[in-house]
Amino acid sequence: MKPIGVFGGTFDPIHIGHIYPILDVCEITGIDEVRYIPNARPGHRPTPRTDPNHRWNMTVLALEDYPQLVADDREIKRPGKSFMVPTLRSLRTENPFRPLCLILGMDAFLQIRNWYWWADVLRLSNIIVMNRPGAKIPNVLPVWWEQALQTQNRILYERLAGNIVHVDVSFIDVSATRLRVSMSRGDESPEGLPESVAQYIAQHQIYTAQGVAA
């Protein structure tokens, strides 16, 4: 069975840098379903000031033209902190025979040992690491990384979990922080923001000078 991709984030706001590299991953690996999972209350960073429901709505709007990218609200609905391992557990319960593939940028992957229950990630899923131009891979890999690293994408179809694959993706120079600042200064449609999301933000006046998320 084809794997399910899993891509989490605050999506505050969601922008093309969250979309185009994932489309690259889909094209390269053949994965045709990626779940976008907005955090309600991130476990490893400050909670965004933007209401989770707004971030959910923006995610739905941004993905409406991409049938292979699916918004998933399980972390929005789940109480408490939004940790990835409980999310992977729930996805595994729903999909016991489909490989799961957690998709991470290299920067996020390098911080994975700071996650709660980080060692369970590879027990529950494979990991696809998105390599962008300039991303640095350690010269000496930790044993767990080296043992799980694979060179063939087909492994993602053959094993439910436990493997790491690197995929080269496009570099998109867009920052959610820069977008928030730009919109707080009156730019209603900054470059890099899907038009439907820009319209939603303007309608609800989400990023005002008094309410820009840090």
Tens digits of per-residue pLDDT, 133-191? Answer: 777 788 889 999 999 999 999 999 999 999 999 999 998 999 999 999 999 888 887 89
User: Average pLDDT for residues 19-41, to the nearest whole number?
Assistant: 96
Please name which of 94, 178, 43 lies closest in space to residue 9, comparing C-alpha atoms: 43
Weakest mean pLDDT among 5-9, 158-162, 208-212: 208-212
- 71 close to 14: Cβ distance less than 8 angstroms: no
CB atoms within 10 A of CB 53: 12
76: pLDDT strictly greater than 90: yes
pLDDT of residue 209: 54
Q: Which domains does the chain have, with CATH numbers?
A: 4-173 (3.40.50.620)
pLDDT of the residue at 139: 84
DSSP structural state of residue 31: -
Is the predicted pLDDT of residue 29 greater than 90, yes or no? yes
> Any bridge partners for residue 6, and if so which?
35, 102
pTM: 0.93
pLDDT at 138: 85
Is residue 43 within 8 A of residue 71, CB to CB? The reply is no
CA 203, CA 214: separation in Å to the nearest integer? Answer: 21
**Token couple for 57:** 């709505």
Average pLDDT score, the chain: 92
On the question of pLDDT at 212 being above 50, the answer is: no
Distances (CA, A) of 155 to 91, 115, 127: 19, 25, 11
- Mean pLDDT, range 99-107, rounded to an integer: 96
The amino acid occupying position 181 is: V
Q: Which residues pair with 127 in a beta bridge?
A: 102, 164
Radius of gyration of the chain (CA): 17
The residues, ordered by sequence, that sit 6+ positions from 129 with a Cβ below 8 Å of its Cβ are 104, 105, 106, 109, 164, 165, 166, 167
Give the residue with greater pLDDT, 87 vs 210: 87
**Model pLDDT, residue 214:** 39
Question: Is the pLDDT assigned to residue 210 strictly greater than 50?
Answer: no
pLDDT at 128 exceeding the cut of 80: yes
Strand partners, 82: 42
